[in-house]
A and B are shown apart, each in its own frame.
Chain A
């Protein structure tokens, strides 16, 4: 079936550094999402994105976070600067218009030291 790829699968960085998480969504999908999952907790909505714009962001989407999809390439989540509490698995998802099924990537595990 359709696949969403997330690169890298695991990223380890020092607190205060910048990190970019990359997502290659399903090719004809129009809507993109990031979810954050802290170990042992549920996946929580961070942000969704359509037509080059953020549609909605949650309170977890701090000022240090940003998303973009330049020229139809990767959908990225950038955190600058990172904090210890940003350690989590970040899941990217995409969906096609008029369809409500999300297709997920396998997640990027971010470890902030």
Chain B
């Protein structure tokens, strides 16, 4: 079945340094949508970025990611981390199979930014 791998469970950074959170995926379908959701403590997870276009950079709120179908990757990056970026980040994959749509989530990466 479909799967999403986030290799880092925890990333700790000093404010101002660049952020890169890894995400790779596996699916037999070519119509994959990739997402990054962000989850702040005691709040609802919400969509940060999404893409289905190969090799096209997508950006939102200072974060960016590029879907590379050749390597099945959708890494999340930011040039300069801020304290407010501390949260749990989920990479997710969706494909439409037989008219159904059920996103598959990675284990999540907890990002901690300190002064």
Interface residues of A (CB under 8 A from B): 1, 3-4, 31, 33, 35, 41-45, 48, 55-56, 91, 95, 100-107
Interface residues of B, dominant DSSP: strand
Interface residues of A, dominant DSSP: strand
Interface residues of B (CB under 8 A from A): 33, 35, 37, 42-47, 50, 90, 94, 100-108
* Nearest-CB residue, chain B, relative to A31: B101
Q: Cα distance A44–B107 when bound, in Å?
A: 9
* Nearest-CB residue, chain B, relative to A91: B45
Q: Are A4 and B44 in contact (CB under 8 A)?
A: yes
With contact pairs A56-B100, A101-B47 given, residues A106 and B42 touching in the complex (Cβ less than 8 Å) = yes
Contact residues in A for B33 (Cβ distance below 8 Å): 100
Contact residues in A for B100 (Cβ distance below 8 Å): 48, 55-56
Q: Cα distance A31–B99 when bound, in Å?
A: 12
Tell which of B35, B44, B45 has the most Cβ of chain A within 10 Å. B44
Contact residues in A for B46 (Cβ distance below 8 Å): 1, 103-104
What 5 pairs between A and B have smallest CB-CB spacing?
A42-B107, A104-B44, A104-B45, A43-B105, A106-B44
Tell which of B47, B90, B102 has the most Cβ of chain A within 10 Å. B102
* Nearest-CB residue, chain B, relative to A43: B105
Enumerate 25 A-B pairs (CB-CB under 8 Å) in ascending A order. A1-B46, A33-B102, A35-B105, A41-B107, A42-B90, A42-B105, A42-B106, A43-B108, A44-B105, A45-B103, A45-B105, A48-B100, A48-B101, A56-B102, A91-B45, A100-B33, A100-B50, A100-B94, A100-B103, A102-B103, A104-B37, A104-B46, A106-B42, A106-B44, A107-B44
